[in-house]
Chains A and B, each alone.
Chain A
């Protein structure tokens, strides 16, 4: 069965991961940083599914489920932290959360 080569998926995944990394490093809004982390997790999922389909091994797709479960847990905890931060500082900018800095 002739298909798109695996390299295309890997390159696309690398580009998406890098966009997510740039988002984490450059944005100040904690919610956008959080969404960039979701972008990075999703690009890794794409790599897992691509290798799983090209190797004929189901373990990659199983791992995608675990990553999704971790992402759901991270979403709930992260957004709760953002809410608590907003209550404390009236802002969600990550560079204003400096209580631990002495």
Chain B
């Protein structure tokens, strides 16, 4: 049990620090790679929750597909050294950080009321994390949303092609 706590603490620290690097680094390529690392730590956190299939999909879809797209666009635009002279501290940043910390304190206070949540994983959690169970539910109860998501992805592909084309004719 203490080993699990140790694992969780390491993953949480890595996730938070890589997220901070993502939003503070001036070089977009560096923040993209910090974000890839963040996705891997989140996959590890899903594993501590017995959600094996979600962990695999997290690595495949986010770290594999979406971040490749982001890195391609960053390399395509070639904007590494413009950022440096224009990023500055202003009142917007201070307000954002103030409200962010207030939000975290609010959530922590509301979550820490004793006895709100049960402290053990549900006994079914090992069973429902597998690809078999998720596939069964996804293609029976949720078949209409799955089809709608398919249509949405087709629309997104067509929209991306139309937007990225040099000239409409």
Q: How large is the interface on B (under 10, 10 to 19, 20 to 34, 35 or more residues)?
A: 35 or more
Per-residue B-contact encoding for A17-58, CB less than 8 Å = 1, 0 else: 111111101111101101110110010011001101111111
Q: Is A62 in contact with B134, judged by CB distance below 8 angstroms? A: yes
Q: Label chain B's interface by main secondary structure.
A: helix
Given known A31-B73, A38-B35, A83-B73, contact A6–B16 (CB-CB < 8 A): no
Q: Is B118 in contact with A46, judged by CB distance below 8 angstroms? A: no
Q: Label chain A's interface by main secondary structure.
A: helix
A residues contacting the other copy or chain, number (CB 8 A): 72
Q: Is A22 in contact with B100, judged by CB distance below 8 angstroms? A: yes
Q: What residues on A are CB-neighbors of B119 within 8 Å?
A: 3, 5-6
Q: What residues on A are CB-neighbors of B58 within 8 Å?
A: 45, 68
**Nearest chain A residue, comparing its CB with the CB of B164:** A80
Given known A9-B49, A11-B107, contact A56–B66 (CB-CB < 8 A): no
Q: Is B15 in contact with A16, judged by CB distance below 8 angstroms? A: yes
Task: List 10 A-B residue pairs with CB atoms under 8 Å apart, sorted by A's residue number.
Answer: A11-B107, A16-B15, A32-B22, A32-B28, A38-B66, A39-B35, A73-B155, A76-B69, A76-B159, A82-B77
Q: Apart from A25-B92, A61-B54, list 18 A-B contacts with CB within 8 A.
A: A1-B121, A3-B119, A14-B108, A19-B20, A22-B23, A26-B92, A29-B28, A39-B19, A39-B38, A54-B120, A56-B123, A61-B129, A65-B54, A66-B149, A71-B62, A72-B156, A82-B73, A83-B73
